[in-house]
Amino acid sequence: MVRNITKALLVFAVLCSSFGLSAKSYITGGLGLQFDLGSLGDTIATDGLDSSTNYSTTATDGTPGALPRRAIIPENRLLSLQHTTMGLISAKTSGAMTGLVMSLGYEQDFGKAFFWRVNAHYTRKVMGGDTNAKFLGQGFYDITWDYHAVQVPVNVGIKLSVTEDTSFYIGAGVHYFNGGWSLAGSNRLSSVHDALVAAGVSSTTLLGLVADGTNPPANWEKTTFQVSGVAPNWLIGAQSRISDKGHIYMEVETLFSFKYGIAHPRSEGGAQGLAPSVAYPQVLGGNQYRFGYKHEI
């Protein structure tokens, strides 16, 4: 169905230009931000990611049991370790990923209040997604997340003039997407647990906080997901004339890019802790907040 809508929009756009229905045409360029790339903010900050393996533990009433290990340790856990150990374990955290969006496009008005446009957006991580922790100055956890995406939306919409030089617009359409995210680094928390046990540490609170690292450790892991597909989108924005042929604009575009991706962990700890082939949802969509310039041609 999405493909049929895409074809219909493209045919409509060609007809608009072929039959001279346009009133004005523009070349557009802009920059923007997209927050919580990949919808991974909770995974990075508070949830982590469970491993497929378990470790033995004992409940407060003495009942033996098992709990899942952690392939990804959440940042709040590492900060708890930093304060619980009075700095023997130190952590540096940066939270969810934020991306810079670069956009180029072509837009054409038609009729009295309508427009169609095609754009190409490229998004790359510029901050967040970097976590590392050390025990007595030696690194045991170092994870770097990365993200990239290309999205090519085709939109049709309505443009309403507020004054002679200012308009609001809203549109909807479909887009092609291609991209994904990756993580690279090491998880050697189990080595810290073993070192504390060997040193005679008996605090169940402390040992419990470091008991669930991957076993064997995940050393120099690099897992990459890449997906592509077609999905719907919509946008809302405003533009204002600043010269005879120049306009500035601000807009928010919501893209519903989503597809399951398959990746192959490289480390022994990653492959055993997750799977030799891992499926994970790739959320390339979200809200992109952009500002830019339109030049009438």
Name the residue type at position 68. Answer: P
Answer whether CATH 3.90.1520.10 is correct for domain 2-296.
no
The pLDDT, as a whole number, for residue 20 is 46
CA angle 275, 276, 282 (to 5 degrees): 70
- C-alpha 273/C-alpha 267 separation (Å) is 10
> Residue 220 is encoded by which pair of tokens?
């120099």
**Are residues 53 and 273 in contact, defined by beta-carbon separation less than 8 angstroms?**
yes
31: number of Cβ within 10 Å: 13
> Residue 50 is encoded by which pair of tokens?
């469970």
The pLDDT, as a whole number, for residue 62 is 72
What is the number of residues in the chain? 297
**Are residues 149 and 179 in contact, defined by beta-carbon separation less than 8 angstroms?**
yes
The pLDDT, as a whole number, for residue 52 is 77
Q: Strands 89-92, 246-255: parallel, antiparallel or unpaired by DSSP?
A: unpaired
**Are residues 121 and 102 in contact, defined by beta-carbon separation less than 8 angstroms?**
yes
The pLDDT, as a whole number, for residue 51 is 84
- C-alpha 136/C-alpha 244 separation (Å) is 64
The pLDDT, as a whole number, for residue 176 is 98
205: number of Cβ within 10 Å: 7
pLDDT tens per residue, range 226-271: 999 999 999 999 999 999 999 999 999 999 999 999 999 988 888 8
Closest CA to 77 of 210, 194, 218, 196: 210
**Run of H or E residues at 73:** none
Question: What are the sequence ranges of the domains in the chain?
Answer: 2-296
The pLDDT, as a whole number, for residue 14 is 52
Which segments within 86-241 are labelled E, that is strand? 89-92, 98-110, 114-127, 130-135, 138-161, 166-187, 218-224, 227-241
Low-confidence ranges of the chain (pLDDT < 50): 1-2, 5, 8-9, 11-12, 15-22
